[in-house]
Structure 1
């Protein structure tokens, strides 16, 4: 057994876990921004088409996230309780389940792409490019499902650097490939959106192959694939779903509410849609600090729950929350100060640049609210309290966020500013209530791990 995979709970450090996750997330963001930046040199309409398609892809990826989230929580709790055999069984079941699910969803997306884009109300002149992108990227989404699941397993075993290195390699490959298909050097054909879709799918396939190889090298002895021969792994699947389905419900609610709000923006016009794409690309660079802290914090709390260190878990969440809030405010302010030259990288349209700058000013208020949600929700899930975030999420997103966005954007006529105000109200309302739930302490009795005598 690799010594590193046997680290005790005492050796866990938020910084040591978080910085590779941060780099990994940063590179994922840069991959998306690289696609947008390169396509912006090709056509603003291409950016809008890919932006809408990626909204749908993001929604589909959420469906894989429920297995990956359950995997992170269960593997971390089992490792914290020193029940490595059970951790290995969960890992095997999660890989097989998500890959099969990915194949099924890929087939559905390929054939349903035109219908999904029509539901989004996409303008006719954007439909062809958006459909091609969605069919190619969505059709091969199984590789992303595998990457997410195996990445969750490696991170739970504290191999966060391995996942980071793989992400670096794939991002470099993706940027190089995009350059060839968008700009057509050396007389090569310019493939535009179609080329970007193809390179995205191929890079994800390569990434899956590499990360699976790394998984086998790192913890081969702890992956009992023969365990599946004993019959249907109902116990492991049940535990994964008990965490994952509520988690997916919260993410699904968020992404469907974002799709609905995107529909409102489509009604405003292509410029508004393009502005949102550019602004959200920058916002994600702000959010990733909170995301990295939230994921690292989730692993530590999972270990602490498994080891029955409940008071330490409580303090860890609060400390991580303040760190995330501080980072989000500072980084959001810096991006606002340089908002016009940053957005100017993507477009020379003065209306888009001005509006995006205003939205980034509002982002200084928005991001601390999102930090509340990221850290507190991940903490609640790590402790086994997975249902409360989805119930509250649905209530707030659909009872407050979406109606307020419609009222301010369409009724009052505030446009994208109305959308951002609705985001702020929704995120802060949910964030404060998530912190209240954590302080209540009901999660202290919700661990999912088996007792030692139940190990197979």
Structure 2
């Protein structure tokens, strides 16, 4: 028995060495980056899943409103994350090149830029909340629209808090310190879920309870992240007074990655928002089905999402050392690992489909539609998702931000938006047609990024 254990251990170490060890970084360091991100994503997505399940107990109007506004929330929060990712990439490359002074300066400038942007966006969205809701969801039922207004204003109040939190965590990931990000995320998300249980389940506050829980949790997350990076982190050495000094040379490097990625997020998630307007036309039940299937699909994506985040500091540090061989090796290995995870997740989760439906309380008539869309996702994920989403993260970490952004925008608007309307509305396939258009778009993105990866231009940029 002991010999068998030794043999298994030896084979495991050999496989890890073969696929996840190079001159720049070894498998222990990569696992150290991936594991905390994986746990973070697992908690984040599971809590989002449970939150959707809890709010669904308040009725289809509440879950539809939350789903609609969350599309807008994702749209805007991803812009903040995009700028933070610019900081992550530059921090990782400076870390790889051994320039610790520039690591600290870059992290500070990234946090400053994200804070300013989030405050401006929050103020504008609160002032113009009604025109925005009328433009996007004017055809929604009156009770859905009223819930959406409450949730949107509450979400906007919380934007600066989540933006600062994401900027701090982005800088920490850049230097490979993912464990503190995990701990900070747990503080924020566990608080959010506990408050949701209290305010929604026990106090029946519905959408208002969700808003209060979100704001309180994100304030706590921001405060905790700033306390950690100021008092306890020795690598970045962040100081609040330094945020008042704008260093345009460093900011330019951050923006070189951040602005194209932010533009991509604006147009990419703008396409998702436009798709959501198709779904509003299909009725409240279609919106509810879409929200539930999205929650289930995110469960499938827990592991691969973690890899798409972890690949940025891994490839960034390799490029910082100008070790292209390592960068290519780790990109292929992490995409392969993602595919394996996509085979495992549905095998574990699909047997519990009936239990998940009991959590969400959907009307009986839409359960077959939810199941069909879930099966489509389970089949498409291992074939198409990884090259569509992990590959562009890797290319962006090497500085190839303009190409990845343009390719993502074109595939989104030419396929997901246009084809989604044609299949869902024109041809009358409804919500399933919109879902299939999204899957087709994944495939095209993957082909484009795979072709780019085979060339040399993606690693020709010199940022540091």
Which TM-score applies when normalising by structure 2? 0.90
What residue ranges of structure 1 are gaps of 5+ in the alignment? 1-7, 450-456
Asked if 1:350 is matched to 2:364, the reply is yes
Deviation of 1:39 (Å): 1.1
Q: Secondary structure at the match of 2:37?
A: helix
Which shows bigger deviation, 343-352 or 407-416?
Answer: 343-352
Q: C-alpha separation between the residues in 2 aligned to 1:248 and 1:333?
A: 35
Which shows bigger deviation, 339-348 or 412-421?
Answer: 339-348
Which shows bigger deviation, 166-175 or 201-210?
Answer: 166-175
Q: C-alpha separation between the residues in 1 aligned to 2:123 and 2:438?
A: 33
Counterpart in the other structure of 1:401: 416
Q: Secondary structure at the match of 2:58?
A: coil
Asked if 1:34 is matched to 2:50, the reply is yes
Q: 2:274 aligns with which of 248, 260, 264?
A: 260
Q: 2:214 aligns with which of 169, 192, 200?
A: 200
Aligned residues: 437
Deviation of 1:220 (Å): 6.8
Counterpart in the other structure of 1:118: 134
Counterpart in the other structure of 1:416: 431
Q: C-alpha separation between the residues in 2 aligned to 1:117 and 1:153?
A: 34
Q: C-alpha separation between the residues in 1 aligned to 2:427 and 2:360?
A: 29
> 1:28-67 maps to which residues of 2 (within 5 A)?
28-67=44-83
> 1:120-135 maps to which residues of 2 (within 5 A)?
120-121=136-137, 122-135=140-153
Asked if 1:101 is matched to 2:101, the reply is no
Counterpart in the other structure of 2:396: 381
Q: C-alpha separation between the residues in 1 aligned to 2:174 and 2:302?
A: 19
Counterpart in the other structure of 1:271: 285
Question: Deviations 1:103-147 (Å, cap 9, x if unpaired)?
Answer: 111111112222211112232221111101110111221001001
Counterpart in the other structure of 2:223: 209
Please identify runs of 4+ aligned residues in structure 1 that moved more than 4 A. 224-229
Distance change >3 Å, CA 428–CA 333, structure 1 → 2 = farther
Deviation of 1:27 (Å): 1.5
Counterpart in the other structure of 1:5: none
Counterpart in the other structure of 1:74: 90
Deviation of 1:167 (Å): 1.7
Q: C-alpha separation between the residues in 1 aligned to 2:243 and 2:206?
A: 44
Question: Deviations 1:237-293 (Å, cap 9, x if unpaired)?
Answer: 111111011112222222111111111111111000001101101111112211111
Q: C-alpha separation between the residues in 2 aligned to 1:125 and 1:226?
A: 46
**Given that residues 109 and 246 in structure 2 are in contact (C-alpha distance below 8 angstroms), is that contact kept between their aligned partners in structure 1?**
no
Q: C-alpha separation between the residues in 2 aligned to 1:182 and 1:385?
A: 44
Q: C-alpha separation between the residues in 2 aligned to 1:228 and 1:272?
A: 46
Asked if 1:444 is matched to 2:459, the reply is yes
